[in-house]
Amino acid sequence: KNEVEQSPQNLTAQEGEFITINCSYSVGISALHWLQQHPGGGIVSLFMLSSGKKKHGRLIATINIQEKHSSLHITASHPRDSAVYICAVRYSGGGADGLTFGKGTHLIIQP
Amino acid sequence: NAGVTQTPKFRILKIGQSMTLQCTQDMNHNYMYWYRQDPGMGLKLIYYSVGAGITDKGEVPNGYNVSRSTTEDFPLRLELAAPSQTSVYFCASSFLQLAREGEKLFFGSGTQLSVL
């Protein structure tokens, strides 16, 4: 079964630190999503990317198709970035959503 | 725009009871989805719909039913609740098939369901 592995599972950092969350997958994909799940439970799409790099504010997402790996970076982290970050991939030939979700990385930013 | 509205937020059911989780979106999205999220696990697709009148099973459909009579609404029905259905349920929608740059999933706020 195609899986999505995220690391680390849990991450605690100090405010201002540069954060990196990793996502690895097993076979060819057509797209990769990064999602943010707030402490209250709501889920928000951050990025969808199929190649290269995307930036939105202090968030940067990169993907290396050859290595089957993506990273989500947070610069100048802030306590409000505390959330669960979820990686999901769309495997080539997948169904209507075709998404396989990782288990998430629980990030805590301490002031 | 309200986006994706999901009700109720919390519910406790007894084994064998039935209930419907409501989901409506006002973005004229074709694709709608129901996911469940169990502790420590990734989201799993229960059912999805690619348009009014068209639904299909996802990865974990047993014990659930759906209908899509309008573009806006996609209710999820639990007929005979079992403890294994204790989970957090999310409804989501997208305009297209999530395979192109810029496509996004829009989520409801979730329903925390306990079956005792």
Write out pLDDT tens, residues B19-65: 999 999 999 999 999 999 998 898 999 999 999 999 999 989 999 99
pLDDT tens, A33-64? 999 999 888 899 998 988 899 999 999 999 99
Which of A9, A36, A43, A87 best probes binding to B when mutated, by most B CB atoms within 10 angstroms?
A43
Q: Which residue of B has its CA nearest to A36?
A: B107
Between residues A92 and A5, which one has the greater pLDDT?
A5
Band of the pLDDT at A27, cuts 50, 70, 90? confident
Tell if the CB–CB gap between B102 and A49 is shorter than 8 Å.
Answer: no
Q: Does B39 touch chain A (CB under 8 A)?
A: no
Band of the pLDDT at A28, cuts 50, 70, 90? confident
The pLDDT of residue A100: 87
DSSP A66: T
Identity of the residue in A40, A48, A97 whose CB atom sits nearest the CB atom of B45 = A97
**Can you read off the two tokens belonging to residue A54?**
């995307």
Beta strands in B1-116 (DSSP E): 4-7, 10-13, 19-25, 31-37, 44-51, 54-57, 64-66, 76-78, 87-94, 106-107, 111-115
Tell if the CB–CB gap between B43 and A97 is shorter than 8 Å.
Answer: no
**Can you read off the two tokens belonging to residue A89?**
């991939």
- As a whole number, mean pLDDT of residues B61-87 equals 96
3-state secondary structure of A96: coil
Q: Which residue of B has its CA nearest to A38?
A: B109
